[in-house]
Every structure is written in C-alpha cells, then in structure tokens.
C-alpha cells in the first residue's frame, strides 16, 4: 500500500469501465475528461486493472498512516532485543508490537469490509492482494532461477519466504541469504524490503528441534543462537 501508493485518495478507478461505468466501491467515479491522458506518466496500474496516481502527484493517506505504524513497530522490536533479560518488559513490548502489527494488517481489511466497515472498496483490496501475490511470485522465480545460489523456496506466505540451502555452512547461509534479500529489495519500489532474519538449522526430525541464528550482517560469526521446539 505504501510502495504502490494504494489508497482511496489516489485511486482514479478502472482502466476499463465495468458495465459501461467506472465503478469504485459502492458508487461510481466520474473523472474529468482527459485526466488519465494528462497523468499518463504519473500513473500506477495494479494487476487487477485499477489506476492510482504516483506519490509525486498525491501521497495516499493510508500509506502515510501505515508508514508511521510500521516505523513505530520497528522501534519496539529493536527495544525487545535489548530487553531479553527482563521478562515483564519483554511481554509488554511484544504486546505493543503485535498491536501495531494487527492495526496495520486490518487497514487492508478495512478497504473491503462491507458489513463492519464504513468505506468498502473491494477493488482497492483486490489491488493490494494481487500486487502482494505478484511480488511474492516474482521473488520466488528470481531466487530459484539463480544457479549461483542453488536455493529452493519451500514455503511462501504474504510477506515471507522460507528457503532451503542444501549443504551450506552457517557463514555461507548468511552470505547467500543477505545476497538474496538485497536482490529482491532492489527489484521493488521503496519501502518494500526483503529482510534476511533467521537461519534455522534442524537438530532433530519429527519433533522439530531447531537452532535459530538471528541475522546480523556485520557480526553473524559471533551471534548467539537459541532453540525452538514444536511438536509432541
């Protein structure tokens, strides 16, 4: 929503009219004659055929709000890393970052909420979903087609990828992971960024005991890991 400037305030409707009319949400949008041709170099067309103006024309209100929410969440998550020895503070900070995450997530849902919402516009919601899916599919294609990396994407969902690097050492995995993250980031408009976060190394089958090494581009050789265990 931020990178592609998707918002009620930036949407100019459809590339092709719906049943002869420019339908948007529960109403119809009447653009002044010639507005699309006048702005042809300043438009973004989503995968579902909706037209939005670029930020240099008008910065969307939803994008501005989300940027503040996400920046705040990043600061809270950084504070969590320094508070690991204080369980009470860690729980408070974790609850705060989750709250910020849920507000950001429900901002997308609000655009399509026809019962509980006040401004339903399923066309904008579809533009967000289809753009996210297209971004994820392009990332998977680039990663798996790079013979140097020799990587296989085993899972992808919403904004995350889990990648299998067979036979790599810890240092090799960190180097390759950061290379992949930088490549995908360069493909997309700011602030869309793929961040290399963790390097899980399976320790035991079935019960899923894994050692987790958190990514740090400068000091990964000296980082301390932790274990997670799932399953009965």
Average pLDDT value for residue range 123-133: 94
- Give domain status of residue 76, yes or no: no
Residue 1 located in a structural domain: no
Structure-block tokens of residue 106: 């429900």
Domain annotation covers residue 173: yes
Q: Which domain holds residue 218?
A: 146-229
Residue with tokens 């049943």: 19
Decide if 93 is inside a domain. no
Residue 85 inside a domain? The answer is no
Residue with the two structure tokens 């289809």: 130
The Cα-based distances of 49 to 14, 22, 120, 124, 149 in angstroms read 6, 12, 18, 10, 35
Domain annotation covers residue 103: no
Lowest mean pLDDT among 132-136, 156-160, 192-196: 156-160
30 inside domain: yes
Average pLDDT over residues 131-157: 95
Based on the structure, what is the number of domains in the chain?
2
pTM score: 0.78
Report the pLDDT value the prediction gives residue 30, as an integer from 0 to 100.
82
Give Cβ neighbours of residue 23 (< 8 Å, ≥ 6 apart).
13, 14, 17, 29, 123
Q: Is residue 67 part of a domain?
A: no
Query: Where do runs of H (alpha helix) occur along the chain?
Result: 35-38, 61-82, 87-110, 122-145, 170-187
Mean of the pLDDT values across residues 123-129?
Answer: 93
Q: What is the mean pLDDT of residues 179-193?
A: 95
Confidence band for 98, pLDDT divided at 50, 70 and 90: very high
């Amino acid at each position: 929503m931020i990178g592609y400037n998707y918002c009620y305030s930036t949407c100019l409707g459809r590339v092709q009219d719906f049943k002869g009319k420019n339908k948007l949400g529960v109403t119809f949008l009447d653009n002044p004659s010639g507005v699309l041709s006048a702005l042809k170099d300043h438009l973004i067309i989503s995968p579902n055929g909706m037209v939005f103006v670029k930020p240099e024309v008008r910065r969307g209100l939803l994008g501005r709000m989300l940027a503040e929410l996400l920046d705040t969440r990043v600061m809270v998550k950084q504070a969590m890393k320094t508070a690991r020895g204080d369980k009470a503070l860690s729980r408070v900070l974790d609850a705060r970052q989750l709250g910020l995450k849920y507000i950001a997530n429900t901002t997308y849902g609000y655009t399509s909420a026809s019962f509980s919402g006040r401004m339903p516009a399923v066309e904008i919601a579809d533009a967000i979903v289809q753009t996210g899916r297209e971004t994820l599919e392009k990332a998977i294609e680039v990663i798996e087609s790079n013979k140097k990396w020799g990587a296989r994407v085993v899972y992808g969902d919403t904004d995350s990828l889990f990648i299998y690097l067979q036979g790599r050492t810890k240092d090799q995995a960190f180097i390759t992971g950061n290379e992949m993250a930088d490549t995908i980031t360069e493909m997309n408009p700011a602030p869309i960024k793929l961040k290399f976060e963790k390097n899980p190394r399976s320790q035991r089958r079935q019960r899923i005991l894994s050692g987790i090494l958190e990514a740090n581009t400068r000091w990964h050789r000296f980082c301390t890991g932790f274990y997670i265990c799932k399953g009965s």
